[in-house]
Amino acid sequence: MQSSGHRFRDVEHHPLLADNDSYDSSSSSEADMAERVWFIRDGCGMVCAIMTWLLVVYADFVVTFVMLLPSKDFWYSVINGVLFNCLAVLALSSHLRTMLTDPGAVPKGNATKEYMDNLQLKPGEVIYKCPKCCSIKPERAHHCSICKRCIRKMDHHCPWVNNCVGEKNQRFFVLFTMYIALISAHALVLCGFQFFSCVRGQWTECSDFSPPVTVILMIFLCLEGFLFLTFTAVMFGTQIHSICNDETEIERLKSEKPTWERRLRWEGMKSVFGGQPSLLWINPFA
């Protein structure tokens, strides 16, 4: 299709949106809403996000009320309690930032003739339109069927954070996996010390709960900690590897040949985490 001296390539050969197309009005209202708040209304994702919070709260309950508060060692309880709860707050804050941050959505329904005329494209230059959300598709953007948007540098859609991991929220997702892995490892270590101390002493004295309840709570915490540690540690390593190679998970799985100039490993880290290395890199509030 020839238009204003440039070529417009559409996978499904949809026509350009006209000025009076009814799609524009609805998409503009959705775009305005997305600017105010970003939240994906996906049932499965919301259930997974709530489960994530409940599991972290459960781990905090067992660590605090079953293992630390009944301990006779005051400083052991204080140091581990403060450390675990700080990590839990950082993990949940990272989860919220990942879930409520626009991952890099392309404006919906912007593939209009007027918009493309304003791009001042060179003669013969090819641009692509997504036939699903009717938006001009930038390089390295992919359409998410759950978010119903094209996402810049989309890595994957994660139901546990009820959002896509993309250009603008990948840093928060990396922090989320890191802090969950840390609190999982910390919980497993505390469970090991608790079992050891209870076996050496009296079960009735090492916890305010009855021995059967204490054992059940700690066994479930160990299973949760092991599963979450394995999952998040692998995901954290995968994300760091992708950032250093300047390649998203989708691009890796599709074996896409890079048409862009790849960043060096250190440049890739700075582009995701922002600026020179500092404590701000691991601060989800920054």
Distance CA 147, CA 45 (A): 11
Residue 165: helix, strand or coil by DSSP? Answer: strand
Residue 245's identity, in one-letter code, is N
Token code pair at residue 51? 């489960």
Nearest to 45 by CA among 169, 165, 180: 165
What are the CA-CA distances from residue 17 to residues 121, 141, 189 (Å)? 18, 21, 59
Judged on CB neighbours under 10 Å (0-12, 13-18, 19+), 23 is: middle
What dihedral do alpha carbons 86, 90, 96, 100 form, nearest 10°?
140
Token code pair at residue 3? 């238009």
Token code pair at residue 94? 């990272």
Q: How many Cβ atoms are within 10 Å of 211's Cβ, its own excluded?
A: 13
Q: Which of 130, 150, 158, 164 is an active site residue?
A: 158
Asked if 147 is an active-site residue, the reply is no
Q: Report the DSSP pairing between strands 156-158 and 141-144.
A: unpaired
Token code pair at residue 272? 């995701």
CB 90 within 8 A of CB 229: no
- Determine which helix (DSSP H) or strand (DSSP E) holds 171, and give its type and residue range: helix 170-200
Provide Rg for the chain, Cα atoms. Answer: 24
- Determine which helix (DSSP H) or strand (DSSP E) holds 221, and give its type and residue range: helix 211-245
Residue 167's identity, in one-letter code, is E
Catalytic (active-site) positions:
158
